[in-house]
Amino acid sequence: MQIEARNISFQYRENTPWILKDVSLKIEEGERVGLVGPSGYGKSTLVKILAGYLKPTKGEVLLDGKPLPKKGVSPVQLIYQHPEKAINPRWKMKKVLQESGMFRDEVMDALGIERDWLERYPRELSGGELQRFCVARSLFEGTHFLFADEMSTMLDVITQAQIWNLMLKEVEERRLGLLMVTHNAYLAEKICARTIRLEEINTREE
C-alpha cells in the first residue's frame, strides 16, 4: 500500500493565511519517515489531513490511488499529543478497545496496561495511561499506516521507550508505514530512514 498527499493546500477558514500550499508527498508501507519543521508551521495540520481528520481545501489524499475509506476503522491511524481528545469520554476503556477490535494480551502487556484500567472511564486515567490505550487501539489488525504526532512528549522516558519499542516491533513485523512528527532530532534519526522537512515541500509565501 501507499499513501499519497497530492497537491494539498489548506487554510482553516476563508480569507485567513494558507497553512499549506501545494504540498505533495508519498509514503510506502514499511517505510519509516520523520516529519520536521518549525513550531506552528503546519505539521500537525498535515498529518490530520493525511489521516482524514481534516479535509484539505485543495488537493487530495489517496490510499493506493483511492480516497480514504469513509466507513469502518481506518487503515490510517493517528496518535496525537492529546489522548483525552481522541477517546470518547462516555465509554469505559474496555469499550474503546472493543470498538477497534484490539485485544491482544501481548500488546497490552508490552504497553503496561493494567487489566483493571479497562473498567475505568477516560477521566479516571492519567494522560500517560490514556496514551497507552491510544497506541494499543492504533495497532488493530487492519492498520497499514501509523502517524505519530509528538505522541510521547508528555510521557516520562521509561514509558516513552516502552511505547516506542512496541510500536517499532509492530512496524517492523507487520511492515506498517510510519510517519512521525517530532522536535526530537535524536529520536527521528534513530527511528526514521528518511526525513521530510515541511519547509522544503510547502510552497506557501511567508
Instruction: State yes or no: residue 56 binds ligand ATP (CB under 6 A).
Output: no
Instruction: State yes or no: residue 182 binds ligand ATP (CB under 6 A).
Output: no
- Write the DSSP assignment of the chain as a string of letters: -EEEEEEEEE-SSTTS--SEEEEEEEEETT-EEEEE--TTSSHHHHHHHHTTSS--SEEEEEETTEEPPSSSS-SEEEE-S-HHHHS-TTS-HHHHHHHHT---HHHHHHTT--GGGGGS-GGGS-HHHHHHHHHHHHT-TT--EEEEESTTTTS-HHHHHHHHHHHHHHHHHHT-EEEEE-S-HHHHHHH-SEEEEHHHH-----
Stretch that binds ligand ATP, among 38-46, 120-128, 168-176, 188-196 (CB under 6 A): 38-46
Q: Sign of torsion, CA 136 139 140 141? A: negative
Q: How far is the CB of 59 from ligand ATP (least distance, A)?
A: 16
Q: In terms of CB distance, is 12 or 103 closer to ligand ATP? A: 12
Name residues contacting ligand ATP, limited to 78-137 (CB under 6 A).
Answer: none
Q: In terms of CB distance, is 85 or 123 closer to ligand ATP? A: 85
Q: How far is the CB of 183 from ligand ATP (least distance, A)?
A: 6
Stretch that binds ligand ATP, among 42-50, 96-104, 106-114, 171-179 (CB under 6 A): 42-50
Instruction: State yes or no: residue 39 binds ligand ATP (CB under 6 A).
Output: yes
Contact residue for ligand ATP among 14, 15, 40, 158 (CB under 6 A): 40
Q: How far is the CB of 195 from ligand ATP (least distance, A)?
A: 15
Per CB under 6 A, residues contacting ligand ATP are 12, 19, 37, 39-45
